[in-house]
A = this chain, B = another copy of it.
Amino acid sequence: MRGGLPEGLASVAGFQLSKCGWWLEQRLEEELQPLGIRVRHFLVLAMLSTSGALSQQEMAGYLLLDPTLMVGLVDELEARGLCERTRDPRDRRRYSVRITEDGLALHHRARALADEVGADVFGPLTDDELRTVVKAIGRVMEPFWAEQRVRPRRKR
């Protein structure tokens, strides 16, 4: 009996995992508030921190967000000087969005908070278990990213 949770619910593996993801997101959302950004902003910065320049469409694909939402998202980051838009010279329809120095700095702070939250939430696990879980989830998601990346627009 897990914390009073009805067995019929607790035994649905996907439910627990889904709520765990939700919990992590909520916790991080709170932690990021002092920085004035939301989780989605952090994720954009995280992407840009390792990938030189991305188009808004690419980022939307990775985050599973509608491309139209990326407009306002990048607007906000740009207004705060955390990233900058320049037209891609090789395809002037698209923007090259790249992170700025300030953006890198903020990402660094946000990442630290994210790691804190992770350490807190995953506290009950041994290092061994945590490693296994992270590796397993990563492997599970491989086919997903391979398949879903090609999706200009969500249906339904």
Contact = CB atoms under 8 A, between A and B. Distances in A.
Given A43-B9, A142-B124, A137 B50 contact: no
Contacts of A3: 141-146, 149
Interface stretch (A15-23, A70-78, A88-96): A15-23
A43 B15 CA distance: 8
B62 A16 contact: no
Contact of A124 (B4, B121, B139): B139
Contacts of A141: 2-3, 16, 19-20, 23
A7 B109 CA distance: 18
Interface string A39-63: 0000100111111001000000011
A100 B11 CA distance: 20
Contacts of A122: 13, 140
**Most chain B Cβ neighbours within 10 Å, of A111, A114, A122, A136:** A136
Instruction: For chain A, give the interface size range.
Output: 35 or more
A117 B5 CA distance: 22
20 contacts: A2-B138, A2-B145, A6-B51, A8-B48, A8-B49, A8-B51, A9-B50, A10-B138, A14-B117, A15-B46, A17-B17, A17-B20, A18-B21, A20-B141, A23-B141, A121-B140, A122-B140, A124-B140, A124-B143, A133-B133
